[in-house]
Amino acid sequence: MNSWRNNNIVIQRDAVGTAKPCLHQLPPMEFIYGKSAGYDAEGAKEVTMTWKFHDKTRMKRARKDFRKLNKACIMNGRTTSK
């Protein structure tokens, strides 16, 4: 049998009810997958036992100056409604 057939996962035969055999070299059993998130000083207790109220937004949006906007449009040649 050809070696390309042995290494092609798509045409690899498997028994009914079992997974296909792994054709890739896996790391040793001691290998840990994923990335360590590190230590978080604030745990579930601190999150659920403290209550912080929402602070209102202090910065408000400035109103649009349509005269300035229209003047800038005319200077750039934008004179149609689009």
Tell me: the pLDDT tens digits for 3-42?
Answer: 555 667 677 666 777 777 677 788 898 988 888 777 777 8
Does residue 1 carry a pLDDT above 70? no
pTM comes to 0.26
Beta-carbon contacts of 79 under 8 Å, excluding residues fewer than 6 positions away, are 73
Does residue 51 carry a pLDDT above 60? yes
Give the pLDDT score at 43: 80
Does residue 76 carry a pLDDT above 80? yes
- Give the tokens for residue 53: 């109220």
CA dihedral (28, 33, 38, 41) positive or negative: negative
